[in-house]
Amino acid sequence: MWVSLAGAILCCVVMFVINWWAALLTNVIVLGLYIYVSYKKPDVNWGSSTQALTYHQALTHTLHLSGVEDHIKNFRPQCLVMTGYPNSRPALLDLVHSFTKNVGLMICGHVRAGCRPNFGYLGQSWVQLQ
């Protein structure tokens, strides 16, 4: 239970045995940084480690699936459905959902014809709204 603390203390002792003035300088710098961050209290969200682990595992397993040979037992339909607005063709969505169920992938697509917008400007305006 206290292995990490014992390892940290042992590491500090070894630092002082090897070179006492460099160890002292290092500890002063670390203490200064700790006091500075504690004083400033930055409002940051470093994210959840469980979400990062879940994302990494999903990505890793998805990449492993690319090498799996096709077989009737591991068939998973993947459909790109050009629906327009998804609520405009519910029958088409029901049809595709009937064979993808909970094992396949259905992506609803909508093609917008016209001038291409400036996506950089749209992204900046979206961030400003947040």
Distance, CA of 82 to CA of 38 (rounded, Å): 53
User: Residue 17's pLDDT is what?
Assistant: 96
Residue 49 lies in a domain: no
Query: Is the pTM of the predicted complex or chain greater than 0.75?
Result: no
On the question of pLDDT at 129 being above 70, the answer is: no
Instruction: Provide, rounded to the nearest whole percent, the portion of the chain with pLDDT above 90.
Output: 41
| Domain enclosing residue 109, as ranges | 75-114
Nearest Cα neighbor of 82 from 113, 123, 103 is: 113
On the question of pLDDT at 117 being above 90, the answer is: no
Residue 63 lies in a domain: no
Residue 61 tokens read as 């397993």
Distance, CA of 96 to CA of 106 (rounded, Å): 7
Residue 83 lies in a domain: yes
Residue 83 tokens read as 């629906």
Sequence-distant (≥ 6) Cβ neighbours of residue 84 within 8 angstroms: 110
Number of structural domains (the chain) is 2
Residue 58 lies in a domain: no
Place of tokens 């049809």: 95
Residue 52 lies in a domain: no
Ranked by mean pLDDT, the top range of 66-75, 105-114, 120-129 is: 105-114
Residue 62 lies in a domain: no
User: Which secondary-structure segment (H or E) carries 37?
Assistant: helix 20-40
Mean pLDDT calculated for residue range 92-105: 88
Compute CA 108 distance to the chain's CA centroid, rounded to the nearest angstrom: 23
- Among the residue ranges 32-41, 85-94, 111-120, the one predicted with the least confidence is 111-120
Residue 21 lies in a domain: yes
On the question of pLDDT at 34 being above 80, the answer is: yes
Residue 120 lies in a domain: no
Antiparallel, parallel or unpaired: β 78-82 and 105-109? parallel
